[in-house]
């Protein structure tokens, strides 16, 4: 489905600052027939729990969906608490912890005190349209948020939410367009999940020990056997401003995400390198997080300085392929994490890192395995980019469709 535009048949461009003809300003209280609060059955009464009535809190609403119902209650739990069962197809708005999250009830569902069920007058307001409208105006709900220990918005704030409302038939058309983008995004998410599962299976088959007759000349080695050097990192003094306005990228363990370093947040100067414990790790060498976030791993995308969270591992390229080692260590990350020690700041010692056991095939086979897994990673990255593109498109559509700037 293409994005509506002013030149598309059936689309009209509305002048800035005006709402379209036949649209009206309304409040949520005007189009709602009923608001129902929720509650939590006593957790000390066993017979209130493990029934057949799904019960959710605000934490169970993720990306406008309720995919995983974790708790079920009994009729007695409903009868003897402040919870209410909200009918399938009605709006669920989080008005306490997680204010502004929203979903449509996927079934008859009981709710905690985090959530208000909003029953709409279906002759005036389409449920999906209102879901998208509230998402688009999330800032309103966040600004109404009040409280100290437990934040929340009042019923008055909820009912006073004001918006421009198109005729019902146009609401449904707008909701249908945005739903199409949601369906495409959901399909992409499922493809990403399937690709990750397939990659996990590939790693299991390609990187784990096989029968001796199949293993050929694979051999067990320690990481130190295939490394030429280990380099620690450090942090330049944050009190010296001139250390932090340079052009040398510097990272911590937090910057390593999904085997990659995509976002460099800090840059330092040569003087910072000279006057601190940091080291610059060369491009294409291995970076292993050995303190906070133990086990995260990446290949240096360029020459890069590291904090004390990381260790740079220089490999003997005649014996070990860097991508193969990346996949092998990440697949066996629990072994590395078992070395984790410390109280306030956990970490892996140099001795433990050096002795990390590796099942090493011949170099040509390492490269073949790394190539297969790299293709799987590339497929996942392309799908993730597609998902980001769909989400960006949907955001733009919401901006123009829900305000009437473009008509459908």
Quote the CA–CA distance of 358 and 226 in Å, as a whole number: 10
Quote the CA–CA distance of 90 and 84 in Å, as a whole number: 13
Helix (H) or strand (E) holding 71: strand 71-73
| Domain shared by 157 and 32, yes or no | yes
Contacts of 197 (CB under 8 A, 6+ apart): none
Helix (H) or strand (E) holding 142: helix 138-144
Q: What is the CA radius of gyration of the chain?
A: 28
| Domain shared by 309 and 395, yes or no | no
| Domain shared by 32 and 144, yes or no | yes
Domain membership of residue 272 (yes or no) is: yes
Domain membership of residue 1 (yes or no) is: no
Query: 3-state DSSP call for residue 334?
Result: helix
For residues 69 and 112, is the Cβ–Cβ distance under 8 A? no
| Domain shared by 372 and 346, yes or no | no
| Domain shared by 319 and 388, yes or no | no
| Domain shared by 325 and 398, yes or no | no
Domain membership of residue 379 (yes or no) is: yes
Residues lower than pLDDT 50 in the chain: 1-11, 211-213
| Domain shared by 183 and 88, yes or no | no
| Domain shared by 244 and 321, yes or no | yes
Domain membership of residue 308 (yes or no) is: yes
Domain membership of residue 293 (yes or no) is: yes
Q: For position 373, what pLDDT does the model report? A: 97
| Domain shared by 234 and 340, yes or no | yes
| Domain shared by 128 and 259, yes or no | no
Domain membership of residue 5 (yes or no) is: no
Domain hosting 79: range is 24-165
Domain membership of residue 19 (yes or no) is: no
- Give the number of domains in the chain: 3
Q: Which of 165, 196, 227 is the last residue of a domain?
A: 165
CATH code of the domain in which 396 resides:
1.10.287.1120
- Dihedral of CA 377/381/382/387: which sign? positive
| Domain shared by 57 and 153, yes or no | yes
Decide: pTM greater than 0.85: no
Contacts of 373 (CB under 8 A, 6+ apart): 199, 202, 203, 206, 323, 327
Domain membership of residue 2 (yes or no) is: no
Quote the CA–CA distance of 51 and 75 in Å, as a whole number: 8
For residues 147 and 95, is the Cβ–Cβ distance under 8 A? no
Q: For position 127, what pLDDT does the model report? A: 98
CATH code of the domain in which 147 resides:
3.90.220.20
pLDDT digits (tens, 9 = 90+) for 228-285: 999 999 999 999 999 999 999 999 999 999 899 989 999 999 999 999 999 999 999 9
| Domain shared by 250 and 226, yes or no | yes
């Amino acid at each position: 489905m293409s994005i509506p535009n002013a030149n598309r048949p059936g689309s009209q461009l509305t002048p800035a600052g005006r709402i379209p003809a036949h649209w009206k300003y309304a409040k949520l209280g005007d189009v709602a027939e009923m608001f129902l609060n929720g509650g939590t059955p006593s957790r000390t009464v066993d017979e209130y729990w493990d029934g057949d009535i799904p019960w959710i809190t605000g934490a169970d609403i993720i990306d406008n969906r309720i995919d995983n119902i974790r708790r079920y209650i009994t009729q007695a739990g409903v009868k003897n608490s402040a919870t209410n069962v909200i009918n399938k197809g009605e709006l669920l708005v989080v008005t306490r912890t997680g204010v502004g999250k929203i979903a449509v009830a996927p079934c008859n569902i009981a709710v905690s005190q985090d959530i208000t069920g909003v029953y709409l007058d279906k002759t005036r307001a389409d449920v999906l349209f209102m879901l998208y409208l509230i998402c688009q105006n999330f800032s309103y709900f966040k600004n109404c948020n009040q409280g100290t220990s437990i934040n929340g918005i009042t019923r008055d704030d909820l009912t006073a939410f004001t918006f421009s409302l198109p005729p019902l038939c146009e609401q449904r058309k707008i909701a249908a367009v945005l739903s199409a983008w949601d369906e495409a995004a959901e399909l992409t998410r499922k493809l990403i999940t399937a690709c990750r599962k397939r990659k996990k299976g590939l790693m299991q088959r390609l990187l784990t020990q096989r029968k001796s007759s199949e293993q050929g000349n694979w051999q067990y080695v320690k990481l130190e056997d295939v490394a030429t050097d280990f380099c620690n990192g450090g942090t330049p003094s944050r009190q010296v401003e001139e250390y932090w306005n340079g052009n040398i990228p510097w990272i911590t363990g937090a910057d390593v995400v999904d085997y990659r370093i995509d976002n460099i947040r800090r840059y330092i100067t040569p003087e910072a390198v000279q006057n601190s414990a940091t080291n610059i790790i060369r491009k294409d060498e291995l970076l292993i997080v050995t303190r906070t976030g133990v086990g995260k791993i990446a290949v240096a995308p360029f020459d890069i300085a590291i904090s004390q969270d990381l260790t740079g591992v220089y490999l003997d390229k005649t014996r070990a392929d860097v991508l193969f080692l990346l996949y092998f260590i990440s697949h066996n990350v629990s072994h590395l994490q078992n070395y984790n020690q410390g109280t306030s700041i956990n970490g892996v010692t140099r001795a433990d890192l050096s002795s990390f056991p590796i099942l090493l095939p011949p170099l040509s086979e390492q490269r073949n395995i790394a190539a297969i897994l790299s293709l799987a990673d590339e497929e996942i990255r392309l799908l993730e980019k597609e998902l980001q593109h769909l989400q960006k498109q949907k955001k733009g559509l919401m901006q123009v469709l829900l305000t009437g700037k473009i008509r459908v």
